[in-house]
Amino acid sequence: MAPVSSKICIIGAGVSGLAAAKQLAHHNPLVFEASDSIGGVWRHCSYSSTKLQSLRCDYEFSDFPWPDRDSTSFPSYTEILEYLTSYANHFDVLKFVRFNSKVVEIRFFGDREATDLTGKPGDYPTILPGHPVWEVAVQSNHSHTIEWYAFEFLVVCIGKYGDVPKIPEFPRNKGPEIFQGQVLHTLDYCKLQKEETSQLLKGKKVAVIGFKKSAIDLALECAEENQGPEGQPCTMVVRTLHWTVPHYWIWGLPFYMFYSTRSSQFLHEKPNQSFLRTLLCLLLSPMRRGASKIIESYLLWKLPLQKYGLKPDHPFEEDYASCQMAIMPENFFSEADKGKILFKRASNWWFSKEGIEFDDDTKLEADVVVLATGYDGKKKLKAILPEPFRTLLEYPSGIMPLYRGTIHPLVPNMAFVGYLESVTNLHTSELRSIWLARLVDEKFKLPSVEKMIEQTTKEMAVSKKTTRFYKRHCISTFSINHSDEICEEMGWNSWRKKNWISEAFSPYGSQDYI
């Protein structure tokens, strides 16, 4: 049976998939979503206490503002899902989505010579060649049969988070199999109902592995379930410390003044800058380090990080530059003060029958161990991409080289949306979806493969200089410049404000790109 043919396929209906579907709606894309609903990680990787890490006005589509966008409260994950559903309904995006349809394999049958996999000078293939070049195998939740579809262009929006948990490796006979208690990943925890999480945590000795946002929220939920004299403490096993902030004000100043204005980002290195600009960045480096020190001093004053041994050894700037800054829940340290949340620093650990053992010869008894160890987005891609393109994911830098955060120069007729991080990932995905739609409509042309690789290499070099955590592929310290280059490539004016004062000192957001 011949595969069903269409022009554009979008894989995934999370935030990035919805943004791509809306911008490419005039091409009637076919969107495959493995689950029964939109929302991606907001639907499937959220706890009952999960909230947005930024203000509403910083997390909205340019043409669909929040109804209460000026509220200073952080919206819950249910509010975000309602917002995304309203967006999808307003722009009639759901008509493109096929739910319960999991992409299990992708095949390329286009011209393999069209893309030079050695990275030598050449042109990227035509975006819509006029005939199918990709075949996509889709399995329905309600059937074991596979249906094949053919497309001219694929947009991959399955993201780096959710679906595939990252599980630590353990020495032989020191893994979860010897533990007499219960082991689960945060991905498993997210699937539990409120009554089930209460039963799992209440009165139990719980160890949470990790110290990022998901681990912090889970530890707080555990503490709240264990109030009273009979309650057991939750122990966070911390390997790498990261800076946390209580809110977006620093010594009475709005946080955006430090990193999210054009003038503040002027202090940071960016790709394609001139020698004079590089020299100026070097001369202004004390100001850049000073801004980081000011924020650190506030956090150390506001939060008992030193009291609990939670002060990171690296500058705050490195966490911001790698998109790892997390909002600390208001009552987190009050629970720690009551002894309901404990902390254990450890470089290496493994399981025992009774709990966990550490490389300093100490032990921790536990009934439940929750792995807040992240997700393996690369493994998700490898599961569906064919060779030789799968091999291209084994990039030496650890970062998938995406031109404009969207096009892999060596993968023909395919885009990736949602793999580049910034201060607000929704805005990042939307602007790159706008860019992609204009590219598909031939409003502009891509540079040569060589030029695209050169650009991505420059961006990775900047990230490596800025933070040791560069593999997350975050552009927060030069996000305005990144958006400038996208605007210029689309033929837009890169300066989006009404006057030079606003241009220099006002924060940039999605509303600037209407």
Q: What are the structural domain ranges in the chain?
A: 8-162+376-477, 176-246+303-371
CA distances (Å), origin 192, targets 45, 103, 294: 11, 25, 41
- Does residue 5 surpass a pLDDT of 80? no
**3-class SS string, 140-184:** ECCCCCEEEEEECEEEECCCCCCCCECCCCCCCCCCHHHCCCEEE
Q: 450 near 457, Cβ under 8 Å?
A: no
Q: d(Cα 54, Cα 509) in Å, to the nearest integer? A: 12
Q: If we measure between CA atoms, which residue out of 149, 107, 109 comes closest to residue 129?
A: 109
Is it the case that residue 68 has pLDDT exceeding 90? no
User: By the 8 A CB rule, do 242 and 459 touch?
Assistant: no
461 among annotated binding-site residues? no
Q: Give the per-residue pLDDT at 397.
A: 66
CA distance 74 to 97: 29
Query: Using one digit for the tens of pLDDT, what is the confidence trace for 346-363?
Result: 999 999 999 999 999 999
Residue 120 confidence (pLDDT): 52
Checking if the pLDDT of 412 tops 60, the result is yes
- 386 upstream amide cis, omega within 30 of 0: no
Task: Find the helix or strand (DSSP H, E) in which 512 lies.
Answer: none
DSSP H or E run through 40: none
Edge-to-edge order in the sheet of strand 101-108 = 4-5, 146-151, 134-140, 101-108
pLDDT interval class at 390 (50, 70, 90): confident
The answer on pLDDT for 334 being more than 90 is yes
Please state the pTM of the whole predicted model.
0.93
* Confidence label for 376 from pLDDT (cuts 50, 70 and 90): confident
For 302-336, letters b (16+ CB in 10 Å) and e give bbebeebebebebbbbbbbbbbbbbbbbeebbebb
Strand-strand pairing, 101-108 and 355-358:
unpaired
Q: Which residue has the higher pLDDT, 308 or 115?
A: 308
Instruction: State the CATH architecture for 176-246+303-371.
Output: 3-Layer(bba) Sandwich (3.50)
Tokens 């493995």, residue? 34
pLDDT of 112 reads 57
pLDDT for 1: 39
Task: For domain 8-162+376-477, give the CATH superfamily.
Answer: FAD/NAD(P)-binding domain (3.50.50.60)
Q: pLDDT band at residue 432, thresholds of 50, 70 and 90?
A: very high
Strand runs (DSSP E) across 194-348, as ranges?
Answer: 206-209, 234-238, 244-245, 249-250, 253-254, 326-327, 341-345
pLDDT at 92: 97
- Please tell me the predicted confidence (pLDDT) of residue 119: 45
Helix (H/G/I), strand (E/B), else coil: 320 = helix
Q: Is the pLDDT of residue 396 over 70?
A: no
To the nearest whole percent, how much of the chain has pLDDT over 90? Answer: 77
Q: Mean pLDDT of all residues in the chain?
A: 91
Q: Residue 118 pLDDT more than 60?
A: no
pLDDT of residue 490: 96
Helix or strand holding residue 185 (H, E)? strand 182-185
Q: What is the pLDDT of residue 26?
A: 95
Query: Any known ligand binding at 394?
Result: no
Provide the pLDDT for residue 69.
86
> Is 16 known as a binding-site position?
yes
pLDDT on residue 3: 45
In the predicted structure, residue 116 carries a pLDDT above the cut 70: no
